[in-house]
Structure 1
Amino acid sequence: MICSKSFRRFIMISKHIKGAKSAVPATASMHLERCFSSARFADDDVLFDRIGGAGIITLNRPGALNALNLNMIKKIFPKIKEWEEDPTTTMIIMKGAGGKAFCAGGDIRTITDEGSKGNFEAGQEFFRSEYQLNYRIATCLVPYIAFIDGITMGGGVGLSVHGENRVCTERTLFAMPETAIGLFPDVGGSYFLPRLSKHLGMYLALTGYRLKGRDVYKAGVATRMVHSSVLPELERDLVAMSNPSTQDITNLLRKYHEECKTGRERDYLILRDKEEAIKRLFCAGSVEEIFQNLKEDGSEWALEQLHVMKKMSPTSLKITHKQLSLGESMDLSECLEMEYRMASQCLRHPDFYEGVRAVLIDKDKSPKWNPATIPEVTNDLIDSHFVLPSDGQELEL
């Protein structure tokens, strides 16, 4: 449920999808090590500027691909609140430093370091604060503009996809790869992924497939696309506007978007030729049925998807399927509340720690999941992830 004081705006992502691509790349695990990086707190890990009526937030950990840590979240939330409550604020711009990433994910390593010692509160505080920030962005009354230039995964998706304006570039790389580390696509993934067309969201969630460049726009994840070279100019034009209306901002973003169309670039989703296959194969009511669909299809592409999914945590796959199925009929606040219960339970499940070990610590990319196979994941285990731990508290938004 959405509290009446926060009932300000729902962000519905319903852009149409036009297509489909071949298999998930063999390098699908690329960037994971740095996506879920360990935090080093610093005074300048996030920068705040005010130019006229524009508030500008810069994620400033380029060496860690601007990975999001609790320290950054604790700074960003009150600043957005402060600017939103200031009647002179005309817009908020969120961007990443360094040119390689907007934000490649969250501070997972620190969470598992503490959780392995039995300190689950550190992880719960991170997820609680992160989801509250996601909701603040989604309900922000001031026009919010995210420049999702470069790698945008996990926590970076939460900082952008719930905003009113999401500007991608040819360098944008979008993915939700959490099932590879024993987690699930959180930060509101249960809300925005089911609202992508033709079961694309389920496909992205279960396989971790990466959308690049124009595909991020064509899939409906971004609302506009510009070339990375014009981002500084776009920012200058935005902040130079005198008391702009929401429509003025929309018109300027549209202008830059239209200028990005050269006539030489394709105007369809790279996955176009697999669109119907994704819809047919990933619409099933269970992960087991999806596996069976892929086997029976027998095409090279289908078998490649099956191969990729078999590398993921079986528990993560099954809770993710249920998560997205439930999220389809929930509002954002309900989704985030559900995800907080799920995250709290994942902190108490071995796969999260094993996934982080395999990706971040030993880096052998050979996790030993427990349970090891899809049939071994019982309904009771799945259902337990959707109930708050006995020592936990519900998420307050």
Structure 2
Amino acid sequence: MTGGEEPVLLHTAGRAAHITLNRPRALNALNHTMVRRIDEALTAWEHDPAVETVVIAGAGERGLCAGGDIRVVHDDARDGDGTASAAFWRDEYRLNARIARYPKPYVAVMDGIVMGGGVGISAHGDVRVVTERSRVAMPETGIGFVPDVGGTYLLALAPGELGTFLALTGAPVGAGDAVLCGLADHYVPSASLGQLLDELAELPAREAVARRSEPTPPGELAARREWIDPCFAADTVEGIVRRLLAHGDPAAKETAETLLTKSPTALKVTLASVRRARRLGSLERVLDQEYRVSCAALAIPDLVEGIRAQVIDKDRDPHWSPATLADVTDTDVERFFAPLGERELGLARSRSRSRSRSRSRDLDLDLDHGLGHDLAEPDIT
């Protein structure tokens, strides 16, 4: 299925409709065309009675998706005015929200590399399958960016401070830790994926996955929580680093050293984003926040520099500005959360209106059946 020119391949098999990301040489990195194509497919299948399940997977052997096409973002931030990136994120984040609310089972085959935007199109689904080859991560702080695609929402829900740890370090996790952190649900050996896809054509999604699921292998993070939870509970990134260095566990010291290689601005904004996400509640509210943060990131030098160092020149030697955590002020951080006015993503507002219309329809039905009088009367003042 990797030979075609289309970046997204669509087909149906029995009761299942399949989305295959088809840029294996680019690790199936998402671009704007792919996001639109996926959204169009979900629209068509949502109203197709022949489709009971939607399945998303990646072409090739390396992974589902390594994230968004950040070379395009780099060029837009460096040479353009950022409007192309903002438009891409607007549609991408709306797709993330749609996946989370999709009315039919959405099965994500999270085999191999699943990072950044790949998490956004998989971990918001309701049936999320990992394998022994899965490597799941939100590595944005290493390129001067902040976890997005609803990643701060997902990580804010992880046990203890594991989500804060993953958001700040960008560390990839395997199947066991992905399940522990709430990024996946089921473990299926990669050798059984072919059988799983065949059975999804004939069986309800959860029944097919249950047939092929095996006990999830143990991860590594549970044993590390004795230092992760207390260290990453600090109120500031500087406090987290101090606690890690003082803890005594060699892994804690290594983690502190890792943090100090990341963008200081991205680290501080990421910590604030995850903490605020815990208070915001809904995915839509968090995506609205992430959109503000992402658009603000286009205006600082670290995003262009981080992508240059890690992806384009690959010298792995980014020169961050500001260069140290101490040089990033609270005011610097707060700018990332400033309202965008007419440019707001507005997902939370749209969902609120949708729910209000739904409640209105329900009330109309009650009134039609003579059941709504007691409900409606208190509103007449």
Conserved? CA contact 1:53–1:91, under 8 Å: yes
Greater length-normalized contact order (CA 8 Å, ≥ 6 residues apart): 1
Within 2, Cα distance between the matches of 1:85 and 1:227? 32
Within 2, Cα distance between the matches of 1:232 and 1:145? 14
Instruction: Give the CA deviation at 1:62.
Output: 0.8
What's the CA shift string for 1:73-96, capped at 9, x where partnerless? 111111111111223320100000
What's the CA shift string for 1:52-104, capped at 9, x where partnerless? 33110000111111111111011111111111122332010000011211101
What's the CA shift string for 1:98-137, capped at 9, x where partnerless? 1211101111111120221232101101111110110110
- Equivalent position to 1:351, from 280, 293, 302: 302
- The answer for the alignment partner of 2:85 in structure 1 is 123
Instruction: Give the CA deviation at 1:189.
Output: 1.3
Within 1, Cα distance between the matches of 2:219 and 2:12? 37
- The answer for the alignment partner of 2:332 in structure 1 is 381
- The answer for the alignment partner of 2:118 in structure 1 is 156
Conserved? CA contact 1:344–1:388, under 8 Å: no
Instruction: Give the CA deviation at 1:192.
Output: 0.5
- Report the structure, 1 or 2, having the larger helix content: 2
- The answer for the alignment partner of 1:277 in structure 2 is 227
TM-score after normalising by structure 1: 0.83
For residue 10 of structure 2, give the secondary structure of its aligned residue in structure 1: strand
* Matched AA of 1:137: I
Conserved? CA contact 2:29–2:67, under 8 Å: yes
Within 2, Cα distance between the matches of 1:126 and 1:230? 35
- The answer for the alignment partner of 1:299 in structure 2 is 249
Within 2, Cα distance between the matches of 1:118 and 1:378? 27
- The answer for the alignment partner of 1:180 in structure 2 is 142
Instruction: Give the CA deviation at 1:43.
Output: 4.6
Asked whether 1:207 is paired with 2:207, we answer: no
- Equivalent position to 2:28, from 66, 71, 76: 66
- The answer for the alignment partner of 2:265 in structure 1 is 315
Within 2, Cα distance between the matches of 1:76 and 1:111? 20
TM-score after normalising by structure 2: 0.87
For residue 211 of structure 1, give the secondary structure of its aligned residue in structure 2: coil
Aligned-residue CA RMSD (Å)? 1.5
For residue 312 of structure 1, give the secondary structure of its aligned residue in structure 2: coil
Identity of aligned pairs, percent? Answer: 41
Instruction: Give the CA deviation at 1:294.
Output: 1.2
- The answer for the alignment partner of 2:53 in structure 1 is 91
Return structure 1 stretches of 4+ with deviation > 6 angstroms.
Answer: none
Q: How many residues align?
A: 343
Conserved? CA contact 1:190–1:335, under 8 Å: yes
- The answer for the alignment partner of 1:256 in structure 2 is 212
Within 2, Cα distance between the matches of 1:381 and 1:320? 13
Within 1, Cα distance between the matches of 2:317 and 2:138? 20
- The answer for the alignment partner of 1:82 in structure 2 is 44
- The answer for the alignment partner of 1:39 in structure 2 is none
Instruction: Give the CA deviation at 1:267.
Output: 4.8
Conserved? CA contact 1:187–1:336, under 8 Å: yes
Within 2, Cα distance between the matches of 1:271 and 1:139? 29
- Equivalent position to 1:112, from 55, 74, 82: 74
Within 2, Cα distance between the matches of 1:201 and 1:381? 23
- Equivalent position to 1:167, from 108, 126, 129: 129
Within 2, Cα distance between the matches of 1:389 and 1:223? 36
Conserved? CA contact 1:181–1:351, under 8 Å: yes
- The answer for the alignment partner of 1:288 in structure 2 is 238
The structure whose Rg is larger is 2
